[in-house]
C-alpha cells in the first residue's frame, strides 16, 4: 500500500510503499476513505523535546470501510470512524484501558503519532475493534472524517462546566476553535466571540455560530470584547497553542472566570500565577476526547445540526500531500484539508 512517511525534522513527507496491515485478534483493517491533516501532525514534525520518530505514518483523523475483520462485531464493508487509540500490551486483550483513562493513559499510544502505531496517511490503517464506531446512514465518509476534531471541541466544552448564559471568548478559528464555537452555542452560551487574525476564518467562525468576531491585530481584545458582548468573557477557550496566549487569557478573564486550554503549545511558556490567584480563576487543561464525544458528534452530523462540509477547504491525493503539508505550516486560511488516499489509483484506473 502507499503511505506518507515522516522522514525527519526539516524534511518533507515521502510517499512510500508499505506492507498492508493485517487484522490482529480483536482488530480491523480499514481502507481509508478520508484522513484529515491536523495541526497536531504539523507540530509533531517540528523541533521538540519529544521528537517524532522518523518512519512514522501520521494521521489520526479518519473514516473508511472495513476491509478485514478479526472481530465478531464487525464485517467487511462496514463504514467506520476510529477513536485513534491503542492500549498497552496489558490492556489490549480487553480492548480498552483497564483504568478507564483512554487517551490520558501514559502507557497507551495515539494512532499516527508513533512509528509503532501507523496512522491514516495511507491506503489502509489498523484499528482496534473496540475503538471503531459505525457511521450512520446519511453521513458521507467525508463528513465522518471530521468527527475527531469535532469531538475535541465537544470534549473541551463539556469539561468547561456550564456555559448556560455565559459570555464566551474563543481564541483561534481553526478547526478546533470552530468546533468549540459550535458546541458552546449548543451548550447555551449567551454570546460566543471568536478572536481570529485571518478574515476568511472569521467569516467561517460566524457560520459556525460565533455571535461576533474580533481581529486581535486591531487592538486590545478586552475592550473590544466588552463593547461587543456587553461585558468581559466569563469563559475563555484558548485554541491556538502559541506561546504567551495562556497568559493573555488570564489577563483577559474577570474575577472567578474560567480559562480552558485546548491549543497545544509543545514548548515552554510563562504565566504570572499571581494574576490568576488575585482573580481566583479556574484554569482547565483538556486533551482529546472520550468515546461519548464521538457518539455525540455522529448524532449531530446525522441530524444535520453541524455543517461538516463547511469545515473542508481542500481534498487532495497522497501525491499532493507533501507539498500541502509544508504549506500548512505557514499562516493560511484553510480549515480542514482532507487526504483521499485512493484518489491517485482511481485516476490511474480511469485512464
DSSP annotation of 54 reads T
Give the tens place of pLDDT for each residue, 277-300.
Answer: 999 999 999 999 999 999 999 999
Res 350 pLDDT > 80? no
Residues 64 and 176 sit within 8 Å (Cβ to Cβ):
no
DSSP line for 63-95: EEEEEEE-STT--TT-EEEE--EE--TTTGGGT
Per-residue pLDDT band for 344 (boundaries 50, 70, 90) equals: low
Mean pLDDT of 302-319: 94
DSSP line for 179-238: HHHHHHHHTT-SEEEEE-S-HHHHHHHHHTT-SEEE-GGGS-HHHHHHHHHSS--SEEEE
Give the tens place of pLDDT for each residue, 99-152.
Answer: 888 898 899 999 999 999 999 999 999 999 999 999 999 999 999 999 999 999
Helix or strand or coil: residue 311? helix
DSSP annotation of 318 reads G
Res 348 pLDDT > 90? no
Residues 138 and 144 sit within 8 Å (Cβ to Cβ):
no
Give CA–CA dist 232/24, Å, rounded. 53
**CATH 3.40.50.720 domain locations along the chain:** 150-285
Mean pLDDT of 264-273: 90
Res 351 pLDDT > 90? no
Q: Which CATH number fits domain 2-145+307-350: 1.10.8.50, 3.30.300.20, 3.90.180.10, 3.30.70.360?
A: 3.90.180.10
How far is residue 346 from each of residues 57, 119, 318, 328, 340, measured CA to CA in Å? 22, 21, 12, 26, 10
Residue 311: what pLDDT? 94
Residue 21: what pLDDT? 96
Q: Which fold has domain 150-285?
A: Rossmann fold (3.40.50)
Give CA–CA dist 72/200, Å, rounded. 46
| Residue 245, φ and ψ in degrees, nearest 5 | -75, -30
How far is residue 294 from each of residues 61, 244, 282, 322, measured CA to CA in Å? 12, 31, 26, 29
| Cell matching residue 102 | 483512554
DSSP-based helix, strand, coil % in the chain, nearest 5: 30, 25, 45
| Cell matching residue 215 | 481581529
Give CA–CA dist 57/183, Å, rounded. 31
Residue 255: what pLDDT? 97
pTM higher than 0.85: yes
Mean pLDDT of 315-339: 95
User: What torsion, rounded to 10 degrees, do the Cα atoms 265, 115, 176, 241 define?
Assistant: 10
Give CA–CA dist 15/57, Å, rounded. 10
**CATH 3.90.180.10 domain locations along the chain:** 2-145+307-350
Q: Share the mean pLDDT of the chain.
A: 94
Give the tens place of pLDDT for each residue, 209-224.
Answer: 999 999 999 989 999 9
DSSP line for 110-175: ETTSBTTB--SSBSEEEEEGGGEEEPPTT--HHHHTTHHHHHHHHHHHHHT---TT-EEEEE--SH
With CA atoms as reference, report the closest residue to 9 among 59, 45, 37, 43: 45
Residue 100: what pLDDT? 86
Residue 231: what pLDDT? 94
Amino acid at each position: 500500500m502507499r503511505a506518507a512517511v515522516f522522514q525527519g525534522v526539516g524534511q518533507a513527507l515521502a510517499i512510500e510503499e508499505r506492507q498492508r496491515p493485517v487484522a490482529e485478534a480483536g482488530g480491523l483493517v480499514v481502507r481509508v476513505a478520508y484522513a484529515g491533516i491536523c495541526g497536531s501532525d504539523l507540530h509533531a514534525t517540528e523541533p521538540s523535546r519529544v521528537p517524532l520518530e522518523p518512519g512514522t505514518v501520521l494521521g489520526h483523523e479518519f473514516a473508511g470501510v472495513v476491509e478485514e475483520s478479526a472481530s465478531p462485531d464487525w464485517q467487511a464493508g462496514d463504514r467506520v470512524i476510529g477513536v485513534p487509540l491503542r492500549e498497552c500490551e496489558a490492556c489490549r486483550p480487553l480492548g480498552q484501558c483497564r483504568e478507564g483513562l483512554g487517551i490520558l493513559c501514559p502507557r497507551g499510544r495515539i494512532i499516527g503519532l508513533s512509528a509503532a502505531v501507523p496512522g491514516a496517511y495511507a491506503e489502509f490503517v489498523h484499528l482496534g475493534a473496540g475503538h471503531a464506531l459505525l457511521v450512520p446512514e446519511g453521513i458521507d465518509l467525508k463528513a465522518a472524517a471530521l468527527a475527531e476534531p469535532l469531538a475535541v471541541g465537544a470534549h473541551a466544552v463539556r469539561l468547561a462546566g456550564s456555559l448556560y448564559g455565559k459570555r464566551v471568548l474563543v481564541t483561534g478559528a481553526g478547526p478546533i476553535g470552530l468546533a468549540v464555537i459550535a458546541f458552546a452555542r449548543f451548550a447555551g452560551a449567551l454570546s460566543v466571540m471568536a478572536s481570529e487574525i485571518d478574515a476568511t476564518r472569521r467569516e467561517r467562525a460566524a457560520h459556525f455560530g460565533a455571535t461576533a468576531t474580533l481581529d486581535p491585530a486591531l487592538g486590545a481584545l478586552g475592550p473590544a470584547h466588552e463593547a461587543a458582548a456587553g461585558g468581559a468573557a466569563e469563559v475563555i477557550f484558548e485554541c491556538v497553542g502559541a506561546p504567551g496566549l495562556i497568559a493573555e487569557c488570564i489577563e483577559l478573564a474577570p474575577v472567578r472566570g474560567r480559562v480552558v486550554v485546548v491549543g497545544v503549545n509543545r514548548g515552554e511558556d510563562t504565566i504570572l500565577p499571581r494574576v490568576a490567584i488575585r482573580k481566583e480563576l479556574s484554569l482547565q487543561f483538556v486533551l482529546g476526547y472520550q468515546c461519548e464525544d464521538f457518539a455525540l458528534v455522529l448524532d449531530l452530523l446525522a441530524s444535520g445540526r453541524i455543517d461538516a462540509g463547511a469545515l473542508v477547504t481542500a481534498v487532495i491525493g497522497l501525491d499532493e500531500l507533501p507539498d500541502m503539508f509544508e504549506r500548512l505550516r505557514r499562516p493560511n486560511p484553510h480549515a480542514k484539508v482532507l487526504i483521499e488516499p485512493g484518489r491517485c489509483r482511481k485516476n490511474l484506473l480511469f485512464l
